[in-house]
Amino acid sequence: MISANDRSKSAFCLAIGLLSLGLVCSCKTTTAPDPRQDLVNSLKGANVEGFLFATNEDEAQVVVSLTNSAVRTLIKLDNAATNLVLRYASVREKNTNTTRTYKTEVTKAGTALTLLVTDIATGEVVSRKTFPALETPHTDTPALPTFDSLEDCIKDFNCTRRGALECEANRTCEDQFAALTCCLKNGQCFSVHMIIRPTSLRCRLIGFLPDLEGLVLSQ
């Protein structure tokens, strides 16, 4: 016959066992945060195949981003294309603990290009910057130089014009835009659109725009 004392001990041991089992189960079901998946879930089904994941943090913000891998080379926009997504970014402000998610894209209407940043949740346009129009040579000016390749044309731009634009970008902490016509020795001509980003550490990066080699349109 089991005494009341033995029954109390058994009940106590059973309770301890159930509590321990509950703690073990709780530990097993806890999963680590997945910032990439959280960002993907907020994009309402957007296709991010081939996009590169990154996180960036400073004293004010935490930025989680997915960047189109095409930005690593010159992007040749198809004549029929109307837009190209460059980056999705989730930006959490530390002082308010609020998070907003943005889409950065280039939109095209004819030969006009615009850099557009949109709040995905609200549809609000946060930033709209239009690339400058190409300069058309006057009849009394020398003909445009020709190059062996697009890369050679851009190298010439980097040597002769980029420095002044980069200086202005660092002075204002704002991206600078440039447009140039690149004509090749084989007779082809292209519109090349450049974004010159600040390099100064004092220009805090919010994470909207990735470093971009350039955008190319056929003429």
Across 116-142, b (16+ Cβ under 10 Å) vs e yields: bbbebeeeeeeeeeebeeeeeeeeeee
Whole-number Å distance between alpha carbons of 160 and 166:
12
Give alpha helix (H) positions in the chain: 4-29, 35-41, 150-160, 162-172
Other CB atoms within 10 Å distance of the CB of residue 19: 10
Percent helix, percent strand, percent coil in the chain, to nearest 5: 25, 35, 40
Range of weakest confidence among 28-37, 100-109, 164-173: 28-37
Whole-number Å distance between alpha carbons of 208 and 206:
6
- Joined tokens for residue 38: 């959280």
In this predicted model, which residue has the larger pLDDT, 79 or 134? 79
Whole-prediction pTM: 0.71
Report which of 190, 174, 170, 194 is spatially closest to residue 182, judged by C-alpha positions. 190
Which residues have CB under 8 Å from 198's CB, separation 6+? 166, 169, 170, 172, 173, 174, 175
| pLDDT tens track for 205-217 | 556 777 777 888 7
| pLDDT tens track for 26-78 | 555 556 789 999 999 999 889 999 999 999 888 888 899 999 999 888 888 88
Range of weakest confidence among 146-150, 152-156, 200-204: 200-204
Report which of 76, 121, 166 is spatially closest to residue 157, judged by C-alpha positions. 166
Q: Is a pLDDT exceeding 50 seen at residue 138? A: no
Which residues have CB under 8 Å from 142's CB, separation 6+? none
* pLDDT at residue 21, as a whole number: 47
Task: Report yes or no: 154 and 192 within 8 Å, Cβ to Cβ.
Answer: yes
